[in-house]
A = this chain, B = another copy of it.
């Protein structure tokens, strides 16, 4: 069966990601070398890069969903671009489950504390942003307004993620809700 080889691949990938996370927590992202991650996972540097396109991607496993763009499109076309984007995010978020375990939180925490990684997160969002903009423009929104709305909403989302990772006093959903409400006076 092909399943066994795929299983092996997935296990290797997971092992690399786990070891990377631990090392990053212990010594910091920048002071950790890809060679160290590889060694800790019992693997070659080359293999790390075959599973993760860059060192940063060791922290950005999570697939960022195009579900969001669709949800934005679902909002009433009479609403302002910002209201549609906020509404879309709220709707998309309601469908996603609260993350299990603490892996996500540990990853986000590391990202939140490093300017370069925060920036890298934006590169990771680029595709989502494009999809939202595309959706809004398709429905007649001015491109500039569409980009502004999409960027603003993603900025709020990232603020929520980072703040949630830093403190233990909110669930992720709560943080996202508060952040989005800040952009949308009707609810805040």
A→B interface (CB under 8 Å): 80-82, 115-116, 118-120, 122-123, 126, 142-145, 147-156, 158-160, 162-163, 170, 175, 178-180, 182-183, 185, 188
Can you list 18 residue pairs at the A/B interface with Cβ under 8 Å? A81-B182, A82-B185, A116-B123, A118-B123, A119-B122, A122-B122, A144-B163, A144-B175, A145-B182, A147-B159, A147-B162, A148-B178, A148-B182, A149-B183, A150-B159, A151-B152, A151-B159, A152-B156
Q: Which residue of B lies closest to A166 (CB)?
A: B143
**A148 and B155 contacting across the interface, CB-CB below 8 Å:** yes
Copies of this subunit: 2
**Which B residues touch A158, using CB under 8 A?**
151
Q: Which residue of B lies closest to A56 (CB)?
A: B119
**B178 and A160 contacting across the interface, CB-CB below 8 Å:** no
**B80 and A145 contacting across the interface, CB-CB below 8 Å:** no
